[in-house]
Amino acid sequence: MVVFDKPKALTDVPFHYCPGCTHGIVHRLVAEVIDEFGIEGKTVGIAPVGCSVFAYNYFNCDMIEAPHGRAPAVATGVKRAMPDNFVFTYQGDGDLAAIGTAETVHVGARGENITIIFINNAIYGMTGGQMAPTTLPGQYSTTSPYGRDLKLQGNPIRVCEMLATLDGTAYAERVAVDCVKNINNAKKAIRKAFEVQKNKLGFSIVEVLSTCPTNWGKTPQEALEWLRSDMMPFYPLGVYKDITVKEDK
Partner 1 sequence: MSKKILMKGNEAIAEAAIKAGCRLFFGYPITPQTEVAETFAKRMPKVDGLCVQAESEIAAINMVLGAASTGKRVMTSSSSPGISLKSEGISYIVGSDLPCVIVNVQRGGPGLGGIQPSQADYYQATRALGHGDQHILVLAPASIQEIADLTMEAFDLSDIYRMPAMILADGALGQMMEPVDFEARTPREIPEKTWAACGHDGKRKHNIVNSLYIEPDELERTVIERFEKYKKIEKTEVKYEEYLTDDADIVVVAFGITARIAKSAVNAARKKGIKAGLFRPITLWPFPSERLNQLADSTKKFLAVELSMGQMVEDVKLATQFKKPVEFFGRTGGMMPSVNEVLENIEKYAE
Q: Please report how many Cα atoms fall inside a 13 Å half-sphere around the Cα of residue 229, on the Cβ side.
A: 7
Q: Which stretch binds partner 1 (CB under 8 A): 22-30, 58-66, 143-151, 167-175?
A: 58-66
Q: State the CB neighbour count (10 A cutoff) for residue 15.
A: 16
User: Is residue 24 within the footprint of partner 1 (CB under 8 A)?
Assistant: no
User: Is residue 44 within the footprint of partner 1 (CB under 8 A)?
Assistant: yes
Among 32, 40, 95, 207, binds partner 1 (CB under 8 A): 40
The C-alpha torsion from 221 through 225 and 231 to 236, rounded to 10°, is 120
The footprint of partner 1 on this chain (CB under 8 A) covers a number of residues equal to 36
Among 66, 96, 119, 205, binds partner 1 (CB under 8 A): 66
The helix/strand/coil state of 162 is helix
Answer whether 57's CB lies under 8 Å from 168's CB.
no
- Helix extents (H) in the chain: 23-37, 55-58, 71-81, 93-94, 101-110, 150-153, 159-164, 180-198, 213-216, 220-226, 232-234
User: Is residue 119 within the footprint of partner 1 (CB under 8 A)?
Assistant: no
User: Is residue 10 within the footprint of partner 1 (CB under 8 A)?
Assistant: no
User: Is residue 64 within the footprint of partner 1 (CB under 8 A)?
Assistant: yes
CB of 130 to partner 1, least distance (A): 20
The count of residues in the chain is: 249
Phi, psi of 241 (to 5 degrees): -160, 135
User: Is residue 147 within the footprint of partner 1 (CB under 8 A)?
Assistant: no
User: Is residue 88 within the footprint of partner 1 (CB under 8 A)?
Assistant: no
Q: Closer CB to partner 1, residue 114 or residue 177?
A: 114
User: Is residue 203 within the footprint of partner 1 (CB under 8 A)?
Assistant: no
Among 62, 195, 225, 230, binds partner 1 (CB under 8 A): 62
